[in-house]
A and B are shown apart, each in its own frame.
Chain A
Amino acid sequence: MMLGIPDAVIQELGSELSFSQSELDELSTSVIEGCTNALEHGNHMKSEKPVRLSIDFERTRIEVTIFDNGPGFDFETIDFSKEPADLMQERGRGIYIMFTYCDELSFFRSDGSFAVKMVKKAKETSVENGN
């Protein structure tokens, strides 16, 4: 899994914008979670099925959409803010992490793809400091 690539892209892009390192790390981690889900659950690790990323940005806002070829899941019935019931469970934290780290998180279906869209906004202190 080449998850280092989206991480590097977000880190490089964000360093040119008005985001703090912690904000970039939070978005990067969220994008990695989104890509992991797309590869594992959406495309079932089939290499011939691509995962596509779309990144839109302005100085204080980055929007990342991740598309896979799977049917998706019943996202309308899931409470994203709910932590895993068992602290020791080994899986099931991805969406919770994305929800916690991002300012906006949504799922949708489009042209046979399933997608997750996440938005991260730079906080005012980051903008003032120009970090």
Chain B
Amino acid sequence: MPEFEAIPDCQPFELTNAAILKAHDVNVYYGEKQALFDVNLEVEKNAVTAFIGPSGCGKTTLLRCFNRMNDVIPICRVEGSITLGGQEIHAPEVDVVALRKNVGMVFQKPNPFPKSIYDNIAYGPRIHGMTKTKAEMDEIVENSLKRAGLWEEVKDRLDKPGTGLSGGQQQRLCIARAIAVEPKIILMDEPCSALDPIATATIEALIEELRERFSIVIVTHSMQQAARISQRTAYFHLGHLVEFASTEQIFTSPEDERTQNYITGRIG
């Protein structure tokens, strides 16, 4: 089933196995300083992959590589190969805008556009020319908000500014905005760190539902969160991918002592 949309100007591809994204020998430098060392990792389809590790360990850096967000940092240099459904994302012919349609992102702090709730969702589909009529657009907006579990709360105020919503609602709006363009992967960089426990639980439940349609990579500082929602967990330490295994394995019997020390809260 050729459900994967090809990046323009590249050969269309089909997914042959469970890995949707593969990082091979990825090294990242900020000027002279190396931030990631020979990272090899595969993101599974329809699974939640969690990145954990202390601050500055490179987990966000790797996440940002996946949709080439590091391109905007002039001193940042990425080496190695990252393929999305078999397509090298750093290939010169790849259109970054198209790449980011396939690889959506949700940030730590909810960042709705200073526009109406409707326009927040409609922005992506509009620039990608996904709709021809207003009715189609209305449908995308409604479906995206429904999938993000926000529809009931905002359906009567779609013309009100997105910034007027609560923190948890804003974050769900950002998730709705990310899924409106039907990405393959959603990258989440600590999506709940600015939210209270109830809003966090709502987002976590949402992530679990979204997994059926999308693949999710989440960076989190909450190990409980990683344990609760992810199927695979990667532990990073000082720029190295130390251990990458099933979440159950990582949180019950990790193999590496550094992982053990980190997740049990010990001084390593």
Specify whether A and B are partners.
no
Chain A residues near B (Cβ < 8 Å):
none
Chain B residues near A (Cβ < 8 Å):
none
